[in-house]
Structure formats: structure tokens, C-alpha cells
Amino acid sequence: MTRNPGRTGSHTRTRSRTRTRTRSVSAAAALLALGLGLVLTGCDEAKDTAGDIVSSATAAVASAAQEQMNKVKDGVNATADVKAGATSTDGDRTVAEITATNPLDKTADYTVMVNFRDQDGNLLDVVVLNIDDVAPGKSASGTARSNRTLSGDTKAEVAQALRH
């Protein structure tokens, strides 16, 4: 008898593909079971998971805001020159008026990082805004607008301000 090597290899490849498909189906079934398990465990865990997602998103926004602040060339700490007003809503966003007072004898620009916090002090959102061409000895304002809808009582605070 003569053996056909191609046929044996073909049979081996088919068996290998079948094992791979079986593993894929098993993995998909396991993921489906995990997903159903999460759904069936109740609202508390879903709320915790949602809270974790929001926390992660807020941390990412804060990191991006800090990167923007780091890009400012020749900026001088001017946090004392900048004040945050009370928050209010504008459509579905939270806003606060930010005022920069220029103590210098030349025009200055300000880049300001504003944190929005809830009544417990938890960080909800972070934005960066520019207030340009503030005349010597004068004040100018800009509006910090949240990146997303914030619920509950919120407070705006100047986290960092650079005069340049």
C-alpha cells in the first residue's frame, strides 16, 4: 500500500482547525456566561462598574488636561490671579465663570485648569481654558464648560493657572 502524505497532512490540518473552532466557541460561551452573570448579579455591582468606568474616564480627562498645561511655554504660576465663580447649568453642561486679574504692567494671557467637584469633594471633570489679552491691572473672564453632563451640586475650583 502506498501512503498519500498530502491526505494525512490535510486530515491533521482539519483536526487542528476543529480544535481551534472548539476553543473559540468555548471562549465565546465563557464570555457570554460571564456577561450574563454580571447582568444577573444585581444593580449594586452594575452601579459599581459604572462608577469605575466614570472614574477611569475622569482620570483620563484630568491627565489630558495636565498635558495641555504642560505644553504652555514660559508659563508662570498665577493661581492667585485667577478666581472661579459659582457653577450653573447651560443646556446639559455645568459652567463656571473664571476671572483672571493681571497684576503686571503688560498684557498677559492665562491658561487655567479648572476642576469640577461634587459636594463631597470628588473630582467629576476637568477642563482647560484660555483667557487671552488681559490688559495690565485689569480683569477678564472666560467660561469653563464641563465635558459631560454633571449631576448634583458641583463646585468649580482653579487647580492650576499659568500666566504667559
| Number of other residues whose CB lies within 10 A of the CB of residue 53 | 10
CA dihedral 150, 86, 106, 162 (to 10 degrees): -40
CA distance 89 to 59: 23
Residue bearing the bigger pLDDT, 8 or 88: 88
Which pLDDT score, from 0 to 100, does residue 157 have?
98
pLDDT tens digits, 123-144: 999 999 999 999 999 999 999 9
Range with top average pLDDT, 3-7, 19-23, 35-39, 65-69: 65-69
Question: CA nearest 155: which of 131, 122, 130?
Answer: 122
**pTM listed for this prediction:** 0.66
Residue bearing the bigger pLDDT, 104 or 35: 104
DSSP string, 11-42: HHHHHHHHHHHHHHHHHHHHHHHHHHHHHHT-
